[in-house]
Structure 1
């Protein structure tokens, strides 16, 4: 990664860092001019910074642990030598706000007991038969909301819950979701005007890796 040291130097000296991972990625891409390399570097730096934060260890411990792991992995010696030569740069990167802030914001935006992954509504038709079960006398149409979510202990495997809805339930749910959108946007605008700092609603930040 020939432009790594240049990228490190420029990221470290950023005066007003962003809390958005996508902004960090754009900055790295501006420096390197290489999309794939920029995404890999951004992803790994944020991952290392998040690991340091959650495990409550020093930046030096994170990088030294990484270098030790590489030394014992079946990788070319040149890879290990590169990380050793860039040890100080990597430590300084994990210490600088341009890496720490977006990593912290990313963690806070997903630090919930349950996180929604996806959802869909299934239309369920249930026939009503006569007592002899020989003739269908009618049918009932129901709606089932299926929600897939992730939990701390799910290890990336989504859990599922199914909820039966009637038409009134659907109208109430739509109304609540619209209220939620309005409240989030209002809170964002008011907090931005009061503090003047960068604020985003969870979900509108793409993190730049997609």
Structure 2
């Protein structure tokens, strides 16, 4: 199945970093990913394996992890074979007119091996499932306002009211969205308790499932550290 890809500047920069690693290093990384115990199950765990394997090229760690998971996710979501992805990638590099296109030939086989890894596919699947929702939060903050209370003659301030506004930014199929919700002190305290309970539940679920043993991925864990 022929696919068309349009590479961003970030993707081209990442692929350049991958090419500069060379096929020998990429094959060594593929071997490590396939044999390390326990196998990586989340992006941070994969990032650690990549870091340990190519420690002499720390600047390439994020590009490798980012592009592997990006193309593995694309392959999964669109039901593509590895050859379909690589064919589209090669054409996109050629169309980009950069020097990466010519150098990619010597890297493609090693990148194919990485992209064909069942462990990479599992991480991409877990990552996709953790964000497979209609609306995804991008940011959240609580704004605290102090509002003065004036006397009728506007000659003095008799007091002040402290209020709160929860501001959420989220993305949906329609694009970026935002909503602001007025809150009082009790609402803030309730939200704090619910957040603490949610984290406790996630920890308990992870600890319980690990005894089965079942690997677990908490959405976003390790990405905000």
TM-score range, shorter chain: 0.7 to 0.9
Say how many residue pairs are matched: 202
8 Å contact from structure 1 (residues 17, 97) kept in 2: no
2:44 equivalent among 9, 18, 22: 22
**Deviation of the 1:171 alpha carbon:** 2.1
- Counterpart for residue 196 of structure 1: 213
Q: Which runs of 5+ in 2 are unaligned?
A: 1-20
Name the CA shift for 1:68/1:120 in 2 (closer, same or farther; >3 Å): same
8 Å contact from structure 1 (residues 117, 149) kept in 2: yes
* Rounded Cα–Cα distance in structure 2 between residues aligned with 1:131 and 1:121: 31
Matching of residue 126 in structure 1 with residue 147 in structure 2:
yes
- TM-score normalised to structure 1 length: 0.82
- Counterpart for residue 123 of structure 2: 102
Give the alignment of 1:40-79 within 5 angstroms: 40-76=63-99, 79=100
Q: Which runs of 5+ in 1 are unaligned?
A: none
Secondary structure of 2:214 counterpart:
coil
The CA RMSD measured in Å over matched residues stands at 2.5
* Rounded Cα–Cα distance in structure 2 between residues aligned with 1:13 and 1:123: 51
**Deviation of the 1:166 alpha carbon:** 1.4
Runs of 4+ in 1 over 6 A off after TM superposition: none
- TM-score normalised to structure 2 length: 0.77
* Rounded Cα–Cα distance in structure 2 between residues aligned with 1:16 and 1:135: 68
Name the CA shift for 1:29/1:127 in 2 (closer, same or farther; >3 Å): closer
Name the CA shift for 1:166/1:68 in 2 (closer, same or farther; >3 Å): same
8 Å contact from structure 2 (residues 41, 217) kept in 1: no
